Amino acid sequence: MKCLVNSRSLFYILNSLSWLLIFIVPTHHALMLIVLIFALSGWALGVWPQPIISLIILIYLEIVGIKTFSEGLQGYAQPFVWLLVATYIIASGFETTGLGRRIALHILSFVKGNITACVFVVIVTLMVLGIIIPTGAGRIAMILPVCTGLIEVVKVNNNGQSFSKSVLLAVTLSSTVMSFALITGSSSSIYAASTIELITGFKWTYLYWIIVHAPLTIVGLMSIWIILVKKYPMKQAGWGSGKLYIIEKLAEIGKISVQEKKLSILSAFMLIGWMTEPLHGYTVPVTAMFVGIISCLPKVGVQSWKDASQAIHWDVIILFGSAYALADAFQSNGTADWIAKGLLHFLPENSPLLAAIVMILLVSLFRLGFANMLGITAVFLPLSISVAQTLSINPIWLAQIVFITCSMGYFLPTQSPSNLMTYSLGIYSIHDLFTSGFFLFLIMIPSLLIIAYFYWPLLGIVPN
């Protein structure tokens, strides 16, 4: 209660003092910064519900004369907003049919006698589920019941505590890594692709996004396994009870159902459509919405519209559209460029490495206080593009570095809903997450810079 009171006081003080900016900086920039401070403090402190903050932003932009309410609502007409809707519908299909859980169980059944191999296979399972289930919460919802069941039965050779922590931290951190690995990996990756296209005109395709981010994704997932195995050593024996549990659960769900077969076909069609977008011209949002609609049709579908619609996280949709409007206003108002030019006093032109390091440090600091990856991405992505353009750096190159850094919610349970889902089980502590995440962060940041400097240019994304 005391924390909430302090957060509430800080929120009101920040937003009251922000109006003093009118006397310090040019008025049109001051007004934009006032709205930006409201968005940052509102999304980060959680004093009011995030959808309320998001809707107020649209009204605030009109009140201060930056963007009309009608112009702000145009963010909800963007194709990528409806890609987000489609991903929730498709994820609901996997939960309704049980196909996601079946896939998780089948992959885990490949574990033989080595108990540490189970942690590795959990990570592989998250990677596979990341490809076919395009929401972080949906992925964890599919695998978490399986993992908690394994944790209950694997209590031999004093491996219980180490195994439990390793499995849940593997689920948590792997899901976070997969949030940037795919263009549909999270609402933030969808937002990043759409905002980059809005501001720069550069259009990401599904397959190109995978190729660009594959090396860092592999580094991240392998690092998670190595960190957890070293941090929580387990005796290499006694996987028999875990294997028996998986066999029993596979027997319980029985043979693959007609509904699961339908969803498998629809998913395969969708993935092929995404990867071959340059050949047929139908965008990722169009293909996803087509599959989402079919999944809800009578006879050929796998779920009712009533069930699917209840799975759509409208709070996130509202936040997404508001963030889109905020980014557009931040850029079109000239405030992002104005801030970027101010950084010229501290950052020399044509210095991509220095600019990347400064942005990484800035984003990482703010990320500690943000429970919503989409919110912080909405603030820093347009700013990074302006900084890049001002410093004669490739904006796509710097924007991707900033976006990936925004995804690194490795330290605290409050940094993402996925973290909270696993932490709430009470099996690992904040210290467990922070130390594991800290080691992962120390690996990921240098790897990101190396890959961005030497691998991305081979694909056409040069630093400058």
pLDDT digits (tens, 9 = 90+) for 395-438: 999 999 999 999 998 888 877 777 877 888 888 888 999 999 99
Number of H helices and E strands in the chain, helices first, is 23, 0
Are the C-beta atoms of 381 and 196 separated by less than 8 Å?
Answer: yes
110, 166, 224, 232 from 162: Cα distances, Å? 21, 6, 15, 5
pLDDT at 146 (0 to 100): 79
Amino acid at the residue 114: N
Are the C-beta atoms of 385 and 200 separated by less than 8 Å?
Answer: yes
Residue 436 lies in a domain: no
Q: Which domain holds residue 140?
A: 79-310
| Structural domain count of the chain | 1
Residue 408 Rama label (left phi>0; alpha psi -120 to 50; beta): beta
Residue 352 lies in a domain: no
Residue 58 lies in a domain: no
Residue 179 lies in a domain: yes
Segments in the chain below pLDDT 70: 1-5, 112-114, 134-135, 137, 154-160, 235-241, 369-372
Instruction: Report pTM.
Output: 0.87
CB atoms within 10 A of CB 311: 18
Please tell me the distance from the alpha carbon of residue 414 to that of residue 412, in angstroms, as a whole number. Answer: 5
Residue 303 Rama label (left phi>0; alpha psi -120 to 50; beta): beta
Residue 206 lies in a domain: yes
**Closest to 228 measured CA to CA, from 116, 107, 111, 113:** 116
pLDDT at 43 (0 to 100): 83
Q: For the residues of 130-173, what is the DSSP string, one character each?
A: HHHS--HHHHHHHHHHHHHHHHHH---TT-HHHHHHHHHHHHHH
Residue 266 lies in a domain: yes
pLDDT at 443 (0 to 100): 97
Are the C-beta atoms of 352 and 402 separated by less than 8 Å?
Answer: no
Residue 426 lies in a domain: no
Question: Where are any strands of DSSP class E within 51-109?
Answer: none
Residue 368 lies in a domain: no
